[in-house]
A and B are shown apart, each in its own frame.
Chain A
Amino acid sequence: MKPQILRQDDIKKFFPEGDLKLKDVFFSDADYAMFTERFLTQEGFQGFKKWLKFCGIESVGQKQYWKRNYDCDNLANAYKTYMNLLHAKANPLSFTQSFKTGKDNETKAQGVAVGVMYFEIKGKKTSSHHAINVAITKGLRNQLIPIFIEPNAAGKIKLTKQERESIWYVNF
């Protein structure tokens, strides 16, 4: 049994044109493997926090890992990078190494389906923009779903309809 692979078009279906402010989804890879929701929000998330701590980014007070010079966009990019590091580490063989040894990586997927996403948070009089992560994974009913992850220590979160409609940038 091999890890399931998504192509760019498979991911685009989760961000339908017209429903969102989003004009297009950006991709850095041709295809993507997926991690389980449990891994993304529990074991993997704990590892991400340890990795931040190792880099000297520690959780402080209510704002958790947030710093003025290391804020939401940095944290979202770091989470995406960390998950891709795990994917690369779990599949270490180059094409030549595979050919010479006759061994294969677990998956040939170029990346893992974790993206960085920006949306708008509207207050009564003000509005601001926020970066979080979106990941494609398998839901409880065995269907593929996007889940939203707040990398600033909160893990999986839900967005309101208004927030979902305000998504304006997604990069996998």
Chain B
Amino acid sequence: MVRKLLKKLFKFKEEEDIQEELFAKPVYVYDEDPIIDES
């Protein structure tokens, strides 16, 4: 909690913050598209 506040206050980024910013989670093509049941 304190670390979060310090990060916000001093605007510093940790390695994992930078990684999250730079590396988006990819979206794959799947074998079959999901069937949406609208009934």
Contacts and interface: CB of A to CB of B under 8 A. Distances in A.
B19 to A, nearest CB: 8
Interface in B1-39: 18-19, 21-34
B21 A50 contact: yes
B34 A1 contact: yes
Contacts, number: 60
Contact of B28 (A3, A50, A85, A142): A3
A146 interface: no
Interface of B: 18-19, 21-34
Interface of A: 1-4, 33-36, 38-39, 43-44, 46-47, 50-51, 54, 83, 85-87, 89-90, 106-107, 112, 137-138, 142
Given A1-B31, A1-B34, A47-B23, 12 more contacts: A1-B30, A3-B29, A4-B30, A33-B29, A35-B29, A39-B26, A47-B22, A47-B24, A86-B25, A89-B23, A90-B26, A142-B33
